[in-house]
Chains A and B, each alone.
Chain A
């Protein structure tokens, strides 16, 4: 029933929404893809990355450069963005995953800063501080996505595809390998998981997602500049993931939707929005460290046990160690 309502809302919502609201929703969905990318590398594989905004930028710039400067078709540019933004973390991962724990996370701050520096200063290629304008709309053959509504369906399709792929990864042996590394790397190795290679794969997949998001962003906004692809943007993705819950796939949906849409509804509080963000995140981390989805799950389990609903572990005589 929920799925039917969601599908119905997704199909018919654009007809009821203004162009402005559609732009906000489209941007929310693009951001969601970046947050899901963080879910893969951090939520599943346990490797915190601040480089996501940088990879998002790589995807956006590849599409922009290929279509504006080299007149490549948008579809080809889209695939090049996904591939390019996947290759970069794959190569970086070879070196960076020699580092363990928090050191990897710190190194990714360097990655996003270097990439942002490149976007800003490599003027002949990236346009420097001016960025790249006049990016043509996305199109496949005669089909052109040049209205907010058509872009909505295109991005919705990509969001659905990425969500399904991520769910399948989560349920697969690869997903279990990711989670094994996250929860206990030594145990993972003893269960045949090549932790080094598996981390690189997770980083590559997350980069690919960012590349797709970047390409969609470039075609949607028809302009890219370095100011979008910064370290604070990466930190915001992390906040969105932590807010929604970093251990389950619905977490990124909830976190992104809240932090992207709420500021639109509470515009009158614009001046205080960072203060509210900061306080909200602090309170949430204390009260619900597993995010809203994790907290909700715990609350459900608490009520379930309180009411004596079944499917609890049958206690067997002599099974308790102490």
Chain B
């Protein structure tokens, strides 16, 4: 839960008293025009940025001062607008980085030769039936974005933060993104989706928060947001409303 989270970069207010809560098994959309502070909110939740004033509560504990790796170990997984993968490593090593975090309590050991069957299904669903020994850079941009979501799911997260997962993807890949988000929901994770593709947002989200200049200007179910005058004015535009 975010409680009046603020973030300033010099004179620029990227987040201004933003408050909302995430619920297990539900998807919250976070939309708004470019520069409205969506990614900043993800950075603040995942610990990449510190909050100025404000508080972040996770399962009853304040994690505002916790470093990002501790938040990840608590179960906050995220993807990035531009995939952040181990570019000099093979696909398997990248994949096992996610499994390591998922298994942290069990203490992961040497890479096993076998890829688990459920993992294989997950990879198939993401269209990633590839040679595990190939370099991660051999994947296309779309595959890399899907791979990042798979890696986030492998960490067994309680919260998944997705930063524009569908940006730059084709229709088929967007379907795969949806399928992967469904898996996260089925695993009872709370999903925070930052996305510009309104079809994806309106179809997937249970509730939507709209940001503009760092402030929450609207919050509600997709139908309400689509008809909200302030949102239409600031972000969706008249065409969408009609």
Chain A residues positioned under 8 Å from B131 (CB to CB):
311-313
Q: A179-B86, A190-B46 are in contact. Are A319 and B155 (CB under 8 A)?
A: no
| Alpha-carbon separation in the docked complex, A171 to B92 (Å) | 11
- B240 at the A/B interface (Cβ < 8 Å)? no
Pair B86/A313 contact, Cβ less than 8 Å: no
Shortest distance from the beta carbon of B48 to any chain A beta carbon, whole Å: 6
Taking a contact as CB atoms under 8 Å apart, the answer to whether B97 and A176 are in contact is yes
Q: Check: A320 CB closer than 8 A to any chain B CB.
A: yes
Complex interface: chain B residues within 8 A of A176 (CB)? 86, 89, 93, 96-97, 100
Pair A321/B84 contact, Cβ less than 8 Å: no
Q: How many cross-chain pairs have Cβ atoms below 8 Å apart between A and B?
A: 119
CB distance A195 to B100 under 8 Å? no
Q: Which residues of A contact B242 (CB under 8 A)?
A: none
The residue on A at minimum CB distance from B76 is A190
Q: How many residues of B contact A (CB 8 A)?
A: 50
- Residue of A whose beta carbon sits closest to that of B175: A318
> Does A63 reach chain B (CB closer than 8 Å)?
no
Q: Is the CB of A171 within 8 A of B110?
A: yes
Q: Any chain A CB within 8 A of the CB of B226? A: no
- C-alpha gap A312/B109 in the complex (Å): 28
In the complex, which of the residues A179, A311, A318 contacts B88, with contact meaning CB atoms closer than 8 Å?
A: A179
By a CB distance below 8 angstroms, the chain B residues around A191 are 69, 72, 97-98, 100-101, 151, 155
CB-contact partner of B170 in A179, A183, A312, A321, under 8 A = A321
Q: Which residue of B lies closest to A187 (CB)?
A: B84
Chain B residues engaging chain A, CB cutoff 8 angstroms:
46-48, 67-69, 72-73, 77-78, 80, 84-89, 93, 96-98, 100-101, 104, 107-111, 127, 129-131, 133-134, 138-143, 145, 151, 155, 168-173
Whether A313 lies near B134 (C-beta < 8 A) is yes
In Å, the complex CA distance between A184 and B68 comes to 14
Q: Are A184 and B173 in contact (CB under 8 A)?
A: no
Residues of A within 8 A of B173 (CB): 318-319, 321
6 residue pairs, one from A and one from B, having the closest CB atoms: A318-B172, A321-B142, A187-B84, A192-B72, A183-B86, A192-B101
Q: Does A247 sit at the interface, judged by CB under 8 A?
A: yes
Nearest to A301 among chain B residues (CB) is B135
Contact: A319 with B143, CB < 8 Å? yes
Q: Which residue of B lies closest to A321 (CB)?
A: B142
Is A182's CB under 8 angstroms from B88's CB? yes
A186-B84, A191-B101, A319-B143 known; A173+B89 contact, CB < 8 A: no
Interfacial chain A residues near B97, Cβ < 8 Å? 176-177, 180, 191
Q: Inside 8 A of B143's CB, which chain A residues have their CB?
A: 319, 321
- Known: A319-B142, A319-B172, A321-B141. Contact between A189 and B88, CB under 8 A? no
With known contacts A179-B88, A186-B48, A321-B141, A173–B168 Cβ distance under 8 A: no
> Do A313 and B46 contact each other (CB < 8 Å), given the known contacts A189-B67, A318-B171?
no
